Amino acid sequence: MHKKLSLVLVFAMVFSLIAGCSAKGSSNKAVNDEGGTIKVGLDYELTGNVATYGQGLTEGIELAVEEINNDGGIFGKKIELVKTDNKSDSAEAANVATKLATRDKVVAILGPATSGNTKGASPVAMQNKVPLISASATADDITVDSNGKVRDYIFKTCFSDSFQGVIMANFAFDDLKAKNAAVLVDSTSDYSKGLDKNFKEKFKDLGGAVVTEQAYQAKDKDFRAVLTNIKGANPDVIYLPGYYEEVGLIVKQARELGLDVPILGGDGYDSPKLAEIAGKSVLNNVYFTNHYTSKDTSPEVVKFKEAFNKKYNKEPDAFNALGYDMAKLFADALKRAGEPDREKLKEALESTKDFKGVTGTLSIDKNHNPVKSITILELKDGEQTFVKKQEP
Amino acid sequence: MEQFLQQLVNGISLGSIYALIALGYTMVYGIINLINFAHGDIYMIGAYVGFALTTFFHMGFVPALLLSMLVCAILGIIVEKVAYKPVRNSTRIAALITAISVSLFLEYGTMYFVKAETRTFPNVLPDVSIKLFNGVIINIRDLYIIAITILLMVVLQYIIHRTKVGKAMRAVSLDREAAQLMGVSVDKTISYTFAIGSSLAGAAGVLVGVYYNSIDPLMGMMPGIKAFVAAVLGGIGIIPGAMIGGFFLGITETMVSAYGSSLYKDAVAFAILIIVLLIKPNGLLGKNVKEKV
């Protein structure tokens, strides 16, 4: 009796599995625009070790969408955000992307924040033919695979690591007059290694020397051994591409060891947590490349700052601005596409030209990367100050 | 030379943190032969309690340290009563698996309540770098950690060898049934052991939280393993051994980073552990004790 029953159950389960699959397969391309809204998926780091990036981007996106919806939405329909949390984990980023693409049937996925997580989610986007736009994944190989082929449905709206590394090498050599540089890399992060590679190449091309190369691993807490090595090599500057958690601890411990030379880095420094971890008084003589600064006085930035301040009652940081720009760019492309269709949206994104955003004017090139300017900032007692803006 | 001395100082201060965590580890093992994998997580909870007390209740360093030791002691007793006591007479593998489950439960339970993001301590200890000879620099916090570790080790030695509770602990560790026949309450003694071991973990959590100024729910994982290694290196169950094992591990790691590559520091540290155990299976300070049959 029991055997028969369980056999029936097994069949029922197998059948439902098959049914489930085919249902998914047939509605693969369809976009859910019933109920008068256009669904957009957000795949972000809302918790986990880079949570402030994901949260910041989400705030920017929500502000932009609120403005778009208040202006009547697109094609008379409101944009509805489907927010998901990838827990700062690349496997989870792929899981939630699958959910967004197949179950929620979104027209596009915005996110994730970091390069590693974006790489996790992008195969899902490719497979389901849904455009995925990341506003902050700076790795060079996000939109282009290792054979140089463009990933059709993947876009990004921030500059690439190679650009950040090159600009910083120029800045160190020309502006800081540094001849000897030390590099300290997070060996577990594609982002850190990408910046490091391009910095070293450019710095050596310019005639500088890299006197020592040291490495650490994400989640390390004690960096004094490698910092003592760097101190022994006597560099003029330290290039330290990484994320705020480790960078905060490294800068603090470096200054404690009496290592007072300029420390240079990339957009991973842009988090209020950096000053909390390192302490404001040690964050001096620290320079980094970034997408945007709230000290900029162009009319777009001023208008954005006002609106952001009104909604969240604080100054927007670069991630807020990037999220805002990306959502606006998405809306712009969707309008040009003419209807909420994934394929048409992809084509519209490809033909973006001179889009005026808060983080600069950008055009999408043939590799799905933006052409836009870069900002160099200096930290003085933990406060960001504007140094200069570099055109590509 | 100057660089070598600085690296030595770096190694000692890193080692004192391992030693601090290893003390409680080795003590619990010494008394009831249980590898308490949750030790590293009680250390993490200690750090969070210290964080809450200094941030939200604006307590000073010493009261926060003591109170968080107390909270961890209570937590240790609860963990023992709920999770370890029911499997006390089962196989050792059952106890080990339970310990791993408790560890994961504490990690992800805490993550649910406090979120995964990193928190930072307010400035409760002075942050002054002291210049020694030749430009070698030591932070005053390093001295705090070393001093507190040595103090706790001495106190622990005193409790175990000079007090009645300590005598009961040693009796239980030697022969549980005989001790019970002699009128020692085994349950109570084991509770004491967990209370003291966990309060040491709590102290370590607050100290390390203040020291690195960054705590997160998974912070107990790696130090927990390293402290376990330190305890085994020194001879598990032997309290001064935890100290020596901790310093040994800290200095080795630092020297590998300094003169080899920082990427292989963990690999080399664990390779050394294997070599030490091959030559001296009972650890550096371990005596050759035959297993009872």
- Please tell me if residue A183 touches chain B, with a CB cutoff of 8 Å: no
Contact flag B258-A248 (C-beta cutoff 8 Å):
no
- My answer on whether A230 and A318 are in the same domain is no
Alpha-carbon distance A45 to nearest alpha carbon in chain B (angstroms): 11
**B10, B261, B265 ranked by CB distance to A228: nearest:** B10
Question: Residues of A numbered 116-155 whose beta carbons fall under 8 angstroms of chain B's beta carbons: which are they?
Answer: none
pTM (2 d.p.): 0.79
Burial class (CB in 10 A: 0-12, 13-18, 19+), A4: exposed
- My answer on whether A268 and A322 are in the same domain is no
pLDDT grade for A12, boundaries at 50, 70 and 90:
low
Say yes or no to pLDDT of A29 above 60: no
Contact flag A221-B123 (C-beta cutoff 8 Å):
no
Question: Residues of A numbered 28-87 whose beta carbons fall under 8 angstroms of chain B's beta carbons: which are they?
Answer: 47-49, 51-52, 87
Which of B39, B18, B48, B46 minimizes the C-alpha distance to B146? B18
Mutate to test the interface with B, among A257, A280, A282 (most CBs of B within 10 A): A257
Which pLDDT value is given to residue A58? 95
Range of the domain at A193: 162-290
Domain ranges of chain B: 2-220
Say yes or no to pLDDT of A196 above 60: yes
Range of A2-6, A9-13, A306-310 with top mean pLDDT: A306-310
Which chain A residues have a beta carbon less than 8 Å from that of B139? Answer: 256
Quick check: bond before B217 cis, omega within 30?
A: no
- My answer on whether A207 and A247 are in the same domain is yes
**A216, A258, A277 ranked by CB distance to B214: nearest:** A277
Residue A366: inside a domain: yes
**pLDDT (tens digit per residue) in A84-141:** 999 889 999 999 999 999 999 999 999 899 988 999 999 999 999 999 999 999 888 8
Say yes or no to pLDDT of A315 above 90: no
Question: Residues of A numbered 275-294 whose beta carbons fall under 8 angstroms of chain B's beta carbons: which are they?
Answer: 276-277, 279
Say yes or no to pLDDT of A15 above 80: no
Q: Of A237, A260, A290, which one is at a domain's C-terminal end? A: A290
Residue A24: inside a domain: no
- My answer on whether A304 and A365 are in the same domain is yes
- Whole-angstrom distance, CA of residue B291 vs CA of residue B293: 6
pLDDT grade for A312, boundaries at 50, 70 and 90:
very high
- My answer on whether A269 and A306 are in the same domain is no
Measured CA to CA in angstroms, residue A73 lies from A70, A328, A330, A335 at distances of 7, 12, 12, 10
Q: Which residues pair with B137 in a beta bridge?
A: B131
Contact flag B263-A187 (C-beta cutoff 8 Å):
yes
**pLDDT (tens digit per residue) in A334-384:** 999 988 899 999 999 999 998 988 888 889 998 899 988 888 999 999 888
**B14, B137, B255 ranked by CB distance to A257: nearest:** B137
Contact flag A224-B265 (C-beta cutoff 8 Å):
no
- My answer on whether A44 and A143 are in the same domain is yes
Tokens 């990037």 label which residue?
A: A322
Residue A381: inside a domain: no
Nearest CA in chain B to A253: B212
Say yes or no to pLDDT of A2 above 90: no
Residue A11: inside a domain: no
Regions of chain B where pLDDT drops below 70: 288-293
- My answer on whether A182 and A250 are in the same domain is yes
Alpha-carbon distance B6 to nearest alpha carbon in chain A (angstroms): 7
- The alpha carbons of chain B give a radius of gyration, in whole angstroms, of 19
Contact flag A224-B14 (C-beta cutoff 8 Å):
yes
- Whole-angstrom distance, CA of residue A152 vs CA of residue A150: 6
B264: left (phi over 0), alpha (psi -120 to 50) or beta: alpha
Total domains present in chain A? 2
Q: In the predicted model, what is the mean pLDDT of chain A?
A: 88
H-run or E-run covering A221 = none
Please indicate whether residue B285 or residue A249 has the higher confidence score (pLDDT).
Answer: A249
**pLDDT (tens digit per residue) in A250-303:** 999 999 888 999 999 998 898 888 998 988 888 999 999 998 887 777 888 899
Which pLDDT value is given to residue A3? 65
H-run or E-run covering A40 = strand A37-44
- My answer on whether A48 and A150 are in the same domain is yes
pLDDT grade for A207, boundaries at 50, 70 and 90:
very high
Which chain A residues have a beta carbon less than 8 Å from that of B120? Answer: 273, 276-277
Tokens 């196989």 label which residue?
A: B91
- Please tell me if residue A214 touches chain B, with a CB cutoff of 8 Å: yes
Residue A247: inside a domain: yes
Look up residue A29 and give its two tokens. 């391309």
Which chain B residues have a beta carbon less than 8 Å from that of A47? Answer: 115-117
ipTM: 0.85
**B6, B115, B262 ranked by CB distance to A47: nearest:** B115
Helix intervals (H) in A99-170: 115-128, 161-170
Mutate to test the interface with A, among B257, B259, B263 (most CBs of A within 10 A): B257
- Whole-angstrom distance, CA of residue B29 vs CA of residue B237: 6
Say yes or no to pLDDT of A157 above 60: yes
- Please tell me if residue A266 touches chain B, with a CB cutoff of 8 Å: no
Alpha-carbon distance A221 to nearest alpha carbon in chain B (angstroms): 7
Say yes or no to pLDDT of A6 above 80: no
Give the CATH number for residue A265: 3.40.50.2300
Which pLDDT value is given to residue A11? 64
- My answer on whether A176 and A261 are in the same domain is yes
Q: Tell how strand A360-364 and strand A370-371 pair up.
A: antiparallel
Which pLDDT value is given to residue A23? 44
Alpha-carbon distance A372 to nearest alpha carbon in chain B (angstroms): 32
- Whole-angstrom distance, CA of residue A382 vs CA of residue A50: 19
pLDDT grade for A7, boundaries at 50, 70 and 90:
low
Which chain B residues have a beta carbon less than 8 Å from that of A252? Answer: 213
**A216, A225, A245 ranked by CB distance to B7: nearest:** A225
Which pLDDT value is given to residue A273? 87
- Whole-angstrom distance, CA of residue A116 vs CA of residue A189: 8
Q: Which residues pair with A133 in a beta bridge?
A: A110, A155
Residue A3: inside a domain: no
